[in-house]
Amino acid sequence: MTKEIDLKKILVIALSFIAFTTTGAANEIDKRRVLSINEMQRDHVLTEMRALLSGTQNILDALLREDMVAVARYARPLGMGMTHKAEDHLKAVLPKEFMQLGMSVHKDFDQIAIDAESLKDPKHTLRQLNESMKKCNACHAGYQIRVEKPSTQSGTHPSHDHHLH
Ligand code: HEC
């Protein structure tokens, strides 16, 4: 009889612990989906991100001067060519939708370069840039990067470790 009570107690304690930890995870401040990658992969993604931002700024600067040759020069390196460098190892670890959204941004910049050279219409380029940058926002709203810890590779409480950052 006493054994049965002890078992119940243990169960109640265990269940409340589970409830506590799950609400703890649900109450995280940053609710965007976590991309758990290693330090090198994070560096690769963020370096590319900074290139996208500075490239976009350079395009705007060229647009302001209506220098469409410069627009194409700045847009082209942000195109699909940018992805060939080291993207294979990222394909394996990043979600498909994430990769597709990223690729579609690179395709946009290729199109921006092509149109800047052929149409030479700053307003058209500005419209393209505006549309494409909605994808920057959409992705940033949905994802965050966290560097995976060596200990999480053995599969122990990965959601817990996030609190330690
Ligand atoms: C497919 C998803 C995706 C797209 C598209 C995307 N980004 Fe990002 N970007 C991210 C993620 C994920 C981070 C890291 C966010 C975090 O961990 O809080 C990031 C971070 C950044 C950073 C911070 C870099 C740093 O050094 O910390 C900049 C700047 C940036 N993005 C610019 C852009 C610009 C500009 C565009 C569009 C031209 C863009 N991004 C499109 C996913 C994306």
Q: What is the pLDDT of residue 46?
A: 97
| Global model pTM greater than 0.75 | yes
40 within domain boundaries: yes
One pLDDT digit (tens) per residue for the chain, 165 residues: 556 667 777 666 666 655 555 544 556 899 999 999 999 999 999 999 999 999 999 999 999 999 999 999 999 999 999 887 667 788 889 999 999 999 999 999 999 999 999 999 999 999 999 999 999 999 999 999 999 886 544 444 444 444 444
- Residue 158 pLDDT: 46
Q: Residue 19 carries which side chain, given as an amino acid letter?
A: A
C-beta separation of 161 from 149 below 8 A = yes
Considering the domain boundaries, does residue 62 fall inside one? yes
- The answer to whether 46 and 145 are in contact (CB under 8 A) is yes
Distance 142 CA to ligand 1 centre (A): 11
Orientation angle between helical segments 39-64 and 96-118, nearest 10 degrees: 20
The residue whose CA has the least distance to atom 21 of ligand 1 is 49
Count how many domains the chain has.
Answer: 1
Does residue 110 lie in a domain region?
A: yes
Nearest CA to ligand 1 atom 32: 49
Residue 136 located in a structural domain: yes
Whether 41 and 93 have beta carbons less than 8 Å apart is answered as yes
- Asked if residue 50 belongs to a domain, the reply is yes
Q: Is residue 8 part of a domain?
A: no
Which atom of ligand 1 lies closest to the CA of 98?
A: 1
Helix (H), strand (E) at residue 114: helix 96-118
What is the domain range of residue 114?
A: 31-151
- Ligand 1 neighbours (beta carbon < 6 A): 35, 46, 49-50, 52-53, 56, 98, 101-102, 105, 133, 135-136, 139-140, 143-145
One-letter amino acid identity for 20?
F
The DSSP bridge partners found for residue 134 are none
Specify if 14 maps to a domain.
Answer: no
Token reading at 32: 């965007």
How far is the centre of ligand 1, averaged over its atoms, from the C-alpha of 157 (Å)?
A: 27
* The two three-digit tokens of residue 104, written as one number: 């579609």
The CATH number of whichever domain residue 73 belongs to comes to 1.20.120
- Ligand 1 centre from 18 Cα, in Å? 34
Give the DSSP per-residue string, 21-52. HHHHHHT-S--SEEEEE-HHHHHHHHHHHHHH
Tell me what pLDDT residue 83 has: 85
Q: Specify if 135 maps to a domain.
A: yes
